[in-house]
Amino acid sequence: MSGKIHVEETEIQGFRALHITNQVLSLTIIPDLGGKISSIRDLRNGREWLWTNTQLPYQLHGYGTSYVQEADTGGWDECFPTVSACSYPLPPWKGRSIPDHGEIWPLQWSIKCDGDTETTLIIDMQVQSIGLPYVFQRIIRITADSPSLRFDYRVVNLSDNDTAFIWSSHPLFAVEPGMRIQLPDNTRMNTWVSMPAQLDLQGGEQAWPIHAMLGEHEWDLSYMPDETAGIGIKLWSQTLAQGFAALIAHDGEFRFTFDTAKLPQLGIWMNARGYSGMGGAPYYNLGLEPCIGAQDSLEDAVEKYQRYEMLPANGMKEWWLEIHLSAR
C-alpha cells in the first residue's frame, strides 16, 4: 500500500530539527548545526545507522573551532574545503588558515522543502561560507515508499579566482563487531593516520582489504574490530573502479552509489576505542565517507599528492550520491 512522506518540525537538545519519514526510512536534520543529519533509521528493522556521541551535547560553535575537541557529536556532517586543519596552499589566499573539518560544519544553513509529499520531497539546504567565497548546497530527495535517498551537491564560486578544494561526506556509523565493509574489487588505499604509533599497516599504498597488526593481534579491516582493539585508522582510496561502498550488518545494509567521474574516492575512519579528540573515553564508530581528493589535508592534497579539484572562478562544481537501505 502506498504511503505519504511525513514532515515534522521538532527540537533536539533545544535546536530546531526536521524529522522526515516515508514508509521505509526516516531522517532527521538540524539546520543550525551545519546541516547535520543526526539520524537515518530503517523503519523495517528499527536500525539506527548513525552514531551519536553521548559525551558531547549539541551546541553552536564559532568559525575556527576545533571539531575533534568540541564538536565531534556524530551524525553526518560535510567537510569542505578540507578535513584536517591546514593552510590554504595557493594564491591568492595562500597561507590562510582553514579550520579543522572545514569551514561549513559550524555554520547555520538555510533549509526549504519543496515537492509533493505524495511522491517526492526535495529538501534544499545551503550555506555561504564566511571564509573562502563560495556557497555550498546539498539537496536531498526522498521518495514515498522508497528505501533510497538521493543527495545532489553544488558549490558555487563567488570569486574571480579558481579555488582549490577537497570534500568529504562525514557520516559516522553506529557499529557492532564483525560488520563488513564492502568495496569494489581492486580498491587501493592510502593511510592518513593510525594509532597507537605501534600499529603496523605495512605503509604506503595497499590493496584492500588491508590487514593491521599490533603485537600478537591482527585485524582484517574489511570487518569492524571489537571494542577491545583500541585502534584508530584513517584511510583514503585511489579512484574506485566502481562507484559503490557498503556497510553490511546482520540485519541490513547501508549502501552508497555514486559516479566516480565526479566523486571518485572513499575515506574510511575506523575507530575501535582508539581515539577521542575531546580527551574522554575513546569512541567506537566508523566513518564510511565518499570523498573527492586526497584526504585529510587540502594542503597535502595540493602539494604532496596533487589529488584535488578546482572550483572555477565564478563557476560551480556538482556531484551526487545515493543511499540505499536494505533490511533482513
* pLDDT tens for each residue of 86-144: 999 999 999 999 999 999 999 999 999 999 889 999 999 999 999 999 999 999 999 99
Per-residue cell: 172: 559516522
Q: Is 280 helix (H, G, I), strand (E, B) or coil?
A: coil
Contact 285, 232 (CB under 8 A): no
Centroid of chain to Cα 31: 16
Predicted confidence band of residue 26 (pLDDT cuts 50, 70, 90): very high
Overall domain count for the chain: 1
Q: Report the predicted TM-score, pTM, of the whole model to 2 decimal places.
A: 0.97
Within a domain: 193 = no
Which three three-digit cell numbers place residue 61?
560553535
Half-sphere exposure of 116 (CA within 13 A, CB side): 3
pLDDT higher than 80, residue 1: no
**Distance separating alpha carbons of residues 105 and 163, to the nearest angstrom:** 19
Q: Tens digits of per-residue pLDDT, 224-275?
A: 999 999 999 999 999 999 999 999 999 999 999 999 999 999 999 999 999 9
Judge contact between 247 and 266, C-beta under 8 A. Answer: no
- Position 245 in a domain: no
Which range of residues forms the domain containing residue 149?
A: 6-178+258-327
Cis ω for the linkage preceding 209 (within 30 of 0): yes
145: CATH: 2.70.98.10
Say if residues 234 and 268 touch (Cβ distance below 8 Å): yes
Report the percentage of the chain scoring pLDDT > 90: 95
d(CA 136, CA 187): 29
